[in-house]
Structure 1
Amino acid sequence: MDLYFGELGAAFLETKKEDRTMDMNQFSLVKHDPEILKLLATTEHKAAAQWALDCLNRVLPVFEGKYPDEKIPMHAVQILKDWMNDKIPMWEARKYCWTVLKLARELEPQDKASCQIVRAASHCLATCHVPTHSEGTAMYAISAIQHLNREKSKADTIARMESERQWQMKRLLELREKSVSNAPVHP
């Protein structure tokens, strides 16, 4: 792929894979990814929100396919887009997170993968309040992938998780470049 990710991105992409990605063999939702947090610290707020949306959209279709009548996650996406487009204030947008989390708690006992997708949606929306919530979206998306692939070999599951993290990192770097060049990052 012939994409330009800027100076920081180029340095990241040149490092060895094991030095730049979280060890998916040791994946845990309680461990933050220091490389992503470092990048998010200097990422424009709405670019972080777009990244959260992009990460969520990688797994949200799985939830929608299983629960086509459940609209809470999609409503959260629309609320975040409204905030990104300055249609509603952060405090109004943020309130809906509790509704999303309630759905996640209801799903958890019977459907862990869908629960993780809904938690990703909650973190996605919470990004309007604090940009680093976008990391939670990415982490819950990976956790959902882990749960969705439990029946596969451990090596295959880890490979899928690593592939997702690499996509997430590339997308974050791409959005950072767009925001630095003042290009719009959200539709």
Structure 2
Amino acid sequence: MTLSIQTLSEADRRLVAEWAAACAERGLPLFEAECPNDDRPRDAIARTRAFARGELDTAAEIRRRFGDGSAARNATSPAAAAAARAAGQASAVCHMGAHALGAAAYAVKAASLSAQACSHQVKWARSSVNSKLLSPEPRHFECRLIAGIDLSRQAKE
């Protein structure tokens, strides 16, 4: 069976979840500047980190995460909406690792739509991949993560 980021084990999704949370967190100030009383994206990121630490299970998070994406509808700017979507994508890593790419892509999009430098966000996302993900094992899902970040950036340009 060929492994892909879509078929990661739960242990691997927990590793990827921390990185996805870190990506999403970088755009959080963009959302909170517009919606200071809406804590759904911050809560989604906190739950993603709790999942990464093994404190939450996949089934419970799948049930809870559907509200996370709705925070983007409250944003007035595209950058803030993208930041909220990054948090929603991060919270979805619990059931499919590919959502980490969504978290990274929306974080890059939020940065590119704001005064933040998009290339700085892309460089940060690439350099911050957890060293546990960079294993010599043949699955190499970190290559797909980095390729996905690069492709999402190119799609935005």
TM exceeding 0.5: yes
The amino acid of 1:132's aligned partner reads A
The alignment covers a number of residue pairs equal to 131
CA displacement, residues 78-98 of structure 1 (integer Å, 9 cap, x when unaligned): 222232233322111122222
- 2:119 equivalent in structure 1: 162
- 1:94 equivalent in structure 2: 62
Secondary structure (helix, strand or coil) at the match of 2:83 reads helix
- 2:41 equivalent in structure 1: 73
CA displacement, residues 113-164 of structure 1 (integer Å, 9 cap, x when unaligned): 1110010000000011111110100100011011113xxxxxxx7xx21221
1:41 Cα deviation from its structure 2 partner: 6.9
Structure 1 residue runs of 5 or longer lacking an equivalent are: 1-36, 150-156, 181-187
CA displacement, residues 50-104 of structure 1 (integer Å, 9 cap, x when unaligned): 1101111211123223322111111112222232233322111122222121221
Q: Contact 1:76–1:96 (CA<8 Å) still a contact in 2?
A: no
The amino acid of 1:111's aligned partner reads S
1:47 Cα deviation from its structure 2 partner: 1.7
Q: Which structure has the larger Rg over C-alpha atoms?
A: 1
Q: Contact 1:51–1:175 (CA<8 Å) still a contact in 2?
A: no
Q: Which runs of 4+ in 1 moved over 6 A?
A: 40-43
Q: In structure 2, how many angstroms separate the alpha carbons of the residues matched to 1:125 and 1:119?
A: 10
Give the counterpart of 2:28 among 60, 64, 74: 60
- 1:9 equivalent in structure 2: none
- 2:94 equivalent in structure 1: 128
**Aligned residues: CA RMSD:** 2.7
Q: In structure 1, how many angstroms separate the alpha carbons of the residues matched to 2:45 and 2:16?
A: 14
Q: Contact 2:41–2:71 (CA<8 Å) still a contact in 1?
A: no
Q: In structure 2, how many angstroms separate the alpha carbons of the residues matched to 1:174 and 1:162?
A: 22
Give the counterpart of 1:51 among 14, 19, 29: 19
2:111 counterpart of 1:145: yes
Provide the identity percentage.
Answer: 21
Q: In structure 2, how many angstroms separate the alpha carbons of the residues matched to 1:131 and 1:58?
A: 19
Q: Contact 1:123–1:134 (CA<8 Å) still a contact in 2?
A: yes
Q: Contact 1:77–1:125 (CA<8 Å) still a contact in 2?
A: yes
Q: In structure 2, how many angstroms separate the alpha carbons of the residues matched to 1:133 and 1:48?
A: 9
